[in-house]
Structure 1
Amino acid sequence: MGSVVKLLLVLVLVNMSQGLARPQAGDGELWAVLVAGSNTWFNYRHQADVCHAYQILHQHGVPDDHIVVMMYDDIANNRENPMPGVIINRPDGPNVYDGVPKDYVGRDVTPENFLKVLSGDAEGMKGVGSGKVINSGANDRVFVNMVDHGAPGIFAFPTTFLKVRDFMNTIVSMSRENKFKEMTIYMEACESGSMFLTLPDDIEVYALSAASANESSYACYLDKKVGTFLGDVFSIKWMEDTDREDVRHETLEKQFELVKKETTTSHVMQWGQTSISRQKVGAFVGSKETEEDTYGPFQTLDDPCLKSSIRSPDVPLAILQQRLQATEGLTGADYWMRQFNDLLTNRTFVRDTLMKIVRIVTDDDVMTAEMMSDSHHEIHNYDCYEDSTTTFHDLCFNLGQNPYALRMVNTMVNLCEHGYTAEEFSCAARAVCTHDAVTGIH
């Protein structure tokens, strides 16, 4: 009998030690959706962030059939890439592009497809990309990582944008239909906090935003050899923390506090059911033990990420300035100076166009200046705001293809919250936006 008891004790101890590396029985499965909503070389960092996130999940034991990756996939083999087939997320870092599933690329990266994938609409995704969706159930956990440009109540995609109400409606419906036990969302975007202002705190969803509802997120790691920014501060901070910590022991709350402290460029915020933050990080990124410092040494005193950080809207300007400074010869300098001046001219065109619209709507110069100011109102009149933003997107500047135009939509919030109507905005936009379609205004 004594030997049997000893054997049972050994088995219990083995099971306990193994339990640290995987969810306990009955904890269900882990699913993940990773989304980079941008394209073009200026936005290299977004796909680099998402590729790094994939490597974290993969190395921590999450199988590829439980990870859905959506990214335009125009960076690794871009003609501007000095290392074809390689994407890095920190200077001299490893190739985070290696092995990344290409579930949905190019034109398949849309908000409609994202919501179908997230909600498990396999029928709706038949014949599109890999067709893979989140097939989660009541006992499963879901991790969502979204990286791109943003604006009040908006998360951008390559040719259009995701509206906050559509996003929230999908999440609430999933909760009502018992499609997850717990969900965690990490969002990197300007004004990303605005995407969670209406997130109910009585459903099992926990979210972190890179910034508040009215501020920019920041890029970092400007690499002169690659010629662009390699990452975003919030994303770099949570992923580099995950790389160096034992995710079987670190809690989401501890990670939030650390990332909030280290992201001095914007206000990292938590939303929703904060009790989930008591869960271990491994519950949402996989709990398989990995080698420490996979991504090389981490610096804390002279932080190279924060040292190189810059507001997301200023990234194109900084890249062109760096190229101008690195140019040898007058011919090259003249080319990059023209690119820089063209970018400023295009931005002025966007702002002047919107100012003409607002002037017609308000019929007052002082009120026009107030509506165009940097003052921020919380969105209450969603119908007016969404209709006005859609009009601006359809008639004036595509918000997916012209990232700088996203910096202007706060004016539509101001107009709607001051009692002006979407119909007034639409009429004015139709009168002003008679120019041919333009793209690439960064």
Structure 2
Amino acid sequence: MADVCHAYQILKTGGLKEENIVVFMYDDIAYDPENPRQGIIINSPYGDDVYHGVPKDYTGNDVNVDNFFAVLLGDKAKVKGGSGKVVDSGPNDRIFIYYTDHGGPGVLGMPTNPYMYANDLNEVLKQKHALGTYKSLVFYLEACESGSIFEGLLPQGLNIYATTASGPDENSWGTYCPGEYPSPPLEYDTCLGDLYSVAWMEDCDVHNLRTETIKQQYKLVKERTSSDNSYYGSHVMQYGDLPLSTDNLYLYMGTNPANENFTFIEENSLFSSQKTVNQRDADLLHFWHKYRKAPEGSDRKTKAQKEFMDAMSHRMHIDSSIQLIGKVLFGLEKSSKVLNTVRSSGKPLVDDWTCLKTFVRTFETHCGSLSQYGMKHMRSIANLCNSGVTVEQMAAASSQACTSFPSNPWSSLSNGFTA
């Protein structure tokens, strides 16, 4: 959410009109009792408050897939709840979309269920193009395995340029995390931002976007996000109509007048974070630091320990269930090869997206919710579809693998299916 708020401030400072900015955010951080600075959200250790003035167009349960698609298509009739604001664009308009959440192969997280699937997003982008209601569209996407959202799915010719925080089979990374350098202020137990997002936004904060091109920013962000090609980084990717990257950023984001005289430097002038945290482990890091800092014998320490143990128990349950389903279907020797196969570059994650969603629902019926962590296994589930497993076989294997599932909130199906 800090990333989303920071992005809004960039667009607002850049001169975009309020009616042309639509914000989706769950809005559960600023006044959460665990936020050490009530009503304030920061996106970097020494950063200013990015929460002030952010419009609450869609918050809470109004942040959902149906509303996101309706807003993007400018379809006011299909929007339910929220401010009702939509992307009411015309044939000469340029659109910028920034999306950040958890993710997995072929899927993007939402604070509500169901999640957003790659085929559905790409179909909506094609519909938007068919409506003729934009000149060009730039999409920045932050999520684990975010490359899989466009790989083999986003065609050229739609006047859409997309960049993603990571390749189709890579994690993305949190930054400004406790215990790392630079760390958040001592009172914080959580990462303050995500590496790719912080990279493009901190670039916007200092450069004159009238003269900087999308391609120049892409190169800077790619370099910073790869963390010198170390383990603690990912490879920023680009998809769609790459010639659009020669456009100036100003056309999509405006520019801060204070940066008017800033001369663009090709070398990466951005601070390169020395160490980051796998986005999927950010919650564990949060619980661990909460536990470590809580007074001995306090309720806070007991609660943090329980949260950590519940999260670990859920992870182990999900991991072992997927492995067991693979073994039931393919035997001990073949199962790991089937589950871990990564398709060649340019191919989408799965041929039959209906099969993938059906198998996710089947798994969740027998084994409990995949949740944000379990999204990492979407490729394994997709591979079952690609290998010709039937719905009946998947149901039987899931039933055999999961005779019960943990009752903690991580495994709850009370919020519905993720597919």
Q: What's the TM-score, normalizing by structure 2?
A: 0.85
Distance 1:94 1:395, change over 3 A: farther
Equivalent residue of 2:98, what SS? strand
Residue 387 of structure 2 corresponds to: 418
Answer whether contact 2:13 2:255 (CA < 8 A) is retained. no
1:225 CA drift (Å) = 1.7
Residue 337 of structure 2 corresponds to: 370
1:394 CA drift (Å) = 5.3
Residue 76 of structure 1 corresponds to: 30
Residue 151 of structure 1 corresponds to: 104
The yes-or-no answer on 1:440 pairing with 2:405 is no
Choose from 173, 182, 186 the match for 2:127: 173
Q: Which has the larger radius of gyration?
A: 1
**Map of 1:38-187 to 2, 5 A cutoff?**
47-125=1-79, 128-158=81-111, 159-187=113-141
1:246 maps to a residue whose letter is N
Please list every run of at least 4 consecutive aligned residues from structure 1 whose deviation after the TM superposition is greater than 6 angstroms: none
Q: Distance in 2 between matches of 1:441 and 1:372?
A: 22
Q: Distance in 2 between matches of 1:290 and 1:65?
A: 23
Q: Distance in 1 between matches of 2:168 and 2:339?
A: 18
1:438 CA drift (Å) = 5.1
1:436 CA drift (Å) = 7.3
The yes-or-no answer on 1:263 pairing with 2:225 is yes
Answer whether contact 1:156 1:162 (CA < 8 A) is retained. yes
* Structure 1 portions without partners, runs of 5+: 1-46, 294-299
Q: Distance in 2 between matches of 1:346 and 1:292?
A: 51
Distance 1:84 1:214, change over 3 A: same
Choose from 201, 219, 223 the match for 2:174: 219
Q: What's the TM-score, normalizing by structure 1?
A: 0.81
Q: What RMSD, in angstroms, separates the aligned Cα atoms of the two structures?
A: 2.4
Answer whether contact 2:369 2:411 (CA < 8 A) is retained. no
Choose from 154, 165, 178 the match for 1:199: 154
1:421 CA drift (Å) = 3.0
Q: Distance in 2 between matches of 1:185 and 1:214?
A: 19
Residue 346 of structure 1 corresponds to: 314
Equivalent residue of 1:389, what SS? helix
1:434 CA drift (Å) = 5.1
Equivalent residue of 2:50, what SS? coil
Answer whether contact 1:397 1:405 (CA < 8 A) is retained. no
2:125 maps to a residue whose letter is I
Distance 1:196 1:441, change over 3 A: same
Q: Distance in 2 between matches of 1:437 and 1:335?
A: 17
Residue 392 of structure 1 corresponds to: 363
Answer whether contact 2:207 2:259 (CA < 8 A) is retained. no
Distance 1:99 1:323, change over 3 A: same
Answer whether contact 1:404 1:441 (CA < 8 A) is retained. no
Answer whether contact 2:368 2:405 (CA < 8 A) is retained. no
Using the aligned pairs only, state the percent identity: 33
Name the count of aligned residue pairs: 384
Distance 1:355 1:380, change over 3 A: closer
Equivalent residue of 2:26, what SS? coil
Answer whether contact 1:150 1:190 (CA < 8 A) is retained. yes
1:330 CA drift (Å) = 5.1
Equivalent residue of 1:123, what SS? helix
Answer whether contact 1:210 1:269 (CA < 8 A) is retained. yes
1:338 CA drift (Å) = 4.2
Q: Distance in 2 between matches of 1:433 and 1:371?
A: 23
**Map of 1:287-326 to 2, 5 A cutoff?**
287=255, 289-290=257-258, 303=271, 306-326=273-293
